[in-house]
Chain A
């Protein structure tokens, strides 16, 4: 990977990071979109799709409601895809299931995203005061510009989170891969299943629908039996 590739990754991290809450909200920020997009632009869309499928359900049940800040699954997805593409090309890693290992490393690092997101919202509080002062001074144009400056804060938060995940991944993966690489490769089938099961369980636990387990269980059981019979 060249520096241009890292810059492309950073650009997607910022654009998708802004899409999370600050602007547009077309949901380009969802892992199932952001990760394949990153992979596609870096020349390996399939790797991005694998990462996106692993991460998508995990925090889907955490709603961005009011002052609640869900974990930054966008940057986990983008960062894990960049790491996957980088490490998959290196000889000691080529036999390992890179999307799995990189996602497992990126997930705890992604916790930093909540911290930076919260910081961006605190900085935006200063913009509000700035707008109030501008309004008192009769400078209405400055009031509107103050609002737009918030985009810079959110972009910075997304970029720094991306740096933490990718930088942390570069430090941790060469240290962890010799010990965990082979066991993860052996368990890859079950680990790939563990991600959607945890995501589904969290959704079941938080979706607030009566008979949710009954609906899930009936659908799961009948689909499994049907697949078994056919």
Chain B
């Protein structure tokens, strides 16, 4: 597969979820991403058959789709050469998409995004317009790395990409990022609370009451109370307390 074709596949990865739907989720998107490679490998009825193959149900984390679809191209090449192994491309995609989705969700959505937000909010708290750039940089360096090298690794290693990605231990890394986020959020909330108390001429020691308040709100959130409800109720309580308290 030429680099030009892989470049086209890479660019199409950014449009993977354009037709996301409840019936087959990313299936049409996965076919759209693979189409330039499939058109090189197959002609006429074989090409239509390959399209049919990849129009089946598919769903994984949008960034982790890179190694999965890269390996799918390698497997299609094998099939085209008649050297298909024990695991076909449909079985491979079906087997790998759920664990990779869980890994990507935990790392990118659950770990990296909150961490980048917490760091950026420190800049925002100081009124610095670097905040958005800090967020975009922290998030997009790993994001673009996995999109780019994930595709390349998937294509060059085929099925072995699974072992390579496991070596990076993303779930463990996600836990560390989450723990780091909690520490940063603790520092951020303390800074904002301290500043608010100082602004109102209150003693800073009152700030310690924020911990049980956050614990209570967190418990309510875990019990299913919506964020909108929590924010509006807290805002109403603050207004009522200041008006009638």
Q: A residues bordering B, Cβ < 8 Å?
A: 21-28, 30, 32-33, 36-37, 40, 45-46, 49, 52-53, 56-67, 71, 104, 107-108, 111, 121-122, 124-125, 127-128, 131-132, 135, 138, 140, 143-144, 146-151, 154, 180, 183-184, 186-187, 189-209, 212-213, 215-221, 223-224, 227-228
Give the contacts of B27-63 with A (CB-CB under 8 A): 27-29, 31-32, 35, 47-48, 51-52, 55, 59, 62-63
A36: which B residues are within 8 A, CB to CB? 129, 131-132
With A32-B131, A192-B196 as contacts: A111 and B190 at CB distance below 8 Å: no
Q: Are A198 and B227 in contact (CB-based, < 8 A)?
A: yes
Residue of B213, B216, B227, B239 with most partner-chain A CB within 10 A: B227
Contact of B23 among A26, A57, A128, A154 (CB under 8 A): A128
Interface majority SS (helix, strand, loop, mixed), chain B:
helix
Q: List 10 A-B contacts (CB under 8 A).
A: A52-B124, A56-B120, A135-B55, A140-B51, A154-B18, A189-B196, A192-B196, A197-B213, A200-B189, A216-B189
B: contact size bracket: 35 or more
Task: Give CA–CA (A197, B185) in the complex, Å.
Answer: 9
Determine the residue in chain A with the shortest Cβ distance to B211. Answer: A217
B47: which A residues are within 8 A, CB to CB? 140
With A37-B132, A205-B222, A212-B182 as contacts: A221 and B28 at CB distance below 8 Å: no
B127: which A residues are within 8 A, CB to CB? 46, 49
Choose the segment among B73-81, B83-91, B157-165, B200-208 that binds chain A (4+ C-beta atoms closer than 8 Å): B200-208
Q: Is B192 located at the chain interface by the 8 A CB criterion?
A: yes
